[in-house]
Structure 1
Amino acid sequence: MSLPLSTSSDLALRKDLIRLRMEMNRQQILYHAQPLAHPVQRIKSIMSNRGAASERHGKGPLMLAATVVLAVFGPRLGKVGKLARLGITLYPLVRKLRQ
């Protein structure tokens, strides 16, 4: 059985350890929330640039729908999701090369 913390330095070390663990947990939550936040920002930027700019870059309604679906279900699809996201990213370049 462990001995109770008796000295003030031991208590200070324990408080620091707890603070570090709480900060680590906060950073993990922020890290895991990023994939959820980035697709929303991407869709907002696409919608704000809609119109002539969207026609130039080939971001039509189908591309928007595919981006939303992959943002939601992409991580669950594993390698297929990664390849699909890569395809959506490279599609405007391939389309431009074809023209």
Structure 2
Amino acid sequence: MSLPLSTSSDLAMRKDLIRLRMEMHRQQILYHRQPLTHPLQRIKHMMSNRGASRGGDTKGPLMLAATATLALFGPRLGKVGKLARLGLTFYPLIRKLRQ
């Protein structure tokens, strides 16, 4: 176990450390809460970035929908699901090679 804090400076340092940790956790909660509280703003941001980027780094809405669908129903589709998942995996590489 830890030794009891005897001096007032040790107690003050411990209080400061706890305050800093609490502030860090508060900032983390605010950061991770943002996409959950404003989903439409996030989608709007994704769509505006898609038009601005010419490299094709961002996935389009159709790719996101296909990925989500295959994640849910892929194992039930058998060989077709495996081929579709492979296609989604290699699609960004093929797209980069074509450009």
Work out whether the TM-score is over 0.5: no
- Which structure exhibits the higher relative contact order, with contacts defined as CA atoms closer than 8 Å and separated by 6 or more residues? 1
TM-score normalized by the length of structure 1: 0.45
TM-score normalized by the length of structure 2: 0.45
